[in-house]
Copies of this chain bind each other. A is one copy, B any other.
Amino acid sequence: MARELLFSRAENEALRQEMERDPTVILMGEDVAGGAGRADQGFIDAWGGPMGATKGLIQRFGPERVIDTPICEMGFIGAAVGAAVTGLRPVAELMFVNFVGVCLDPIMNEGAFLRYMLGGQVSVPLVIKTAIGATGRAPERGGGSAAQHSGSMYSIFAHVPGLKCVAPSDPYTAKGLLIAAIRDDDPVVYCSHRQLAGTKGEVPEAPYTVPIGKARTLRPGRDVTLVGIARMTGVCLEAADRLAGKGVEAEVVDLLSLSPLDEETLVESVRRTGHLVVVDEDTPRCSVARDVAAVIADRAVDHLDGPVKTVTAPHAPVPYSGVLEAAYVPTPEAVVAAALATLRD
């Protein structure tokens, strides 16, 4: 039987294998190892990064390549850009995507624009690894992590030319996209959904890449195309099951690459199904969901047999209360309802 791994262990394996393969790959971030400077007291690797995804790497690669940083995202991501243009391939950990608020400048104005501004003189092989998404905790017993620790916000990265952005949906794509991101010569934001960290799936042991820029069709269907991002892909699959019970054959496309966008796969699918629902945990305005919808409204309008629907979070910050948080995130029911609405006539 094929080997199963946790999502966060798949990420860990990707990092370990790439760091073995390529001595220029380094890792930087807050508590990516932990207990820093206390090795002599037996404290090493005390933390191991968010979700433990970087656990064990410092023992293997040492503190010169697994670098605990002070809390200064603007500074250390700026430094990662500088390192990337001078021969390293840094992976910088941004603990939660909301913290892009304190480091958009090095990601955008330098990381993403540098190659263009310099007329192609340099590449910026940098990975920003970050956590996205709501917590999904038990509704009645408190809440989640609230507005500053639960955002998705990848539309900001997709908006920025020069950046790439990927969002895996299972352990297999986690490992493959993270390796692809590290090998890529451009800056890539790798978005890891916190609720996927504890999910399991088949993961080949040997290194492999999942290509950046390609969506993946997980389930064929001829009535409606459901497009999912990260954890929303699972929501789409569940919605597809339910739709099947109503006699509707839904095709499920796992977007994976938010930038560049795989327009061909999307257009081709909607040309066949004539109906589209894009499901996105991010807020709606200027979202990836609406971006996909607009591409279809341009390129496949003649094949559309109903309104293009997006199912997203509301235009609101993420609430703390578990009850509200549960209502915030798109559900299979909402996707089913949207799918039926596109098929309404």
Shortest distance from the beta carbon of A50 to any chain B beta carbon, whole Å: 18
Contact of B283 with A286 in the complex, beta carbons under 8 Å: no
Q: A297 vs B112: C-alpha distance in the bound complex, in angstroms? A: 31
Name the prevailing secondary structure of the A interface residues. helix
* Contact partners of A156 in chain B: CB under 8 A: 156, 159, 286
Q: A309–B294 Cα gap in the complex (Å)?
A: 9
Q: Check A200 for interface membership: any CB of B closer than 8 A.
A: no
If A101-B108, A109-B98 touch, whether A310 touches B287 (CB-CB below 8 Å) is: no
Q: A43 contacts the other chain (Cβ, under 8 Å)?
A: no
| A327, chain B: closest CB distance, angstroms | 14
Contact A298 B294 (CB under 8 A): no
Which among A11-19, A20-28, A179-187, A300-308 touches the partner chain? Answer: A300-308
Q: A104-B101, A161-B317 are in contact. Are A290 and B301 (CB under 8 A)?
A: no
Q: Is A3 located at the chain interface by the 8 A CB criterion?
A: no
Q: Which of A101, A286, A302, A308 has the most CB of B within 10 A?
A: A286
Q: Is the CB of A161 within 8 A of B315?
A: yes
The reply on A60 being an interface residue by CB < 8 A is: no
The reply to whether the CB of A158 lies closer than 8 angstroms to some CB of chain B is: yes
Q: Please name the residue on chain B nearest to A308 by beta carbon.
A: B297
- Produce 1/0 per residue, A303-325, CB < 8 A to B: 01011111000111101100000
Tally of contact residues, A, Cβ under 8 A: 59
Let me know if A116 and B317 touch, CB within 8 A. yes
| Across-interface contacts of A104 in B (CB, < 8 A) | 100-102, 104
Q: Mark A182-201, 1 if CB is under 8 A from B, else 0.
A: 00000000000000000000
Contact A148/B113 with A101-B105, A286-B286 known, Cβ cut-off 8 Å: yes
CB-based contact A113/B147 at 8 Å? yes
Q: Are B286 and A308 in contact (CB under 8 A)?
A: no
Enumerate 17 A-B pairs (CB-CB under 8 Å) in ascending A order: A74-B102, A112-B317, A113-B147, A116-B147, A155-B286, A156-B286, A161-B283, A286-B291, A287-B291, A290-B294, A290-B295, A293-B294, A293-B297, A298-B308, A298-B310, A301-B307, A302-B307
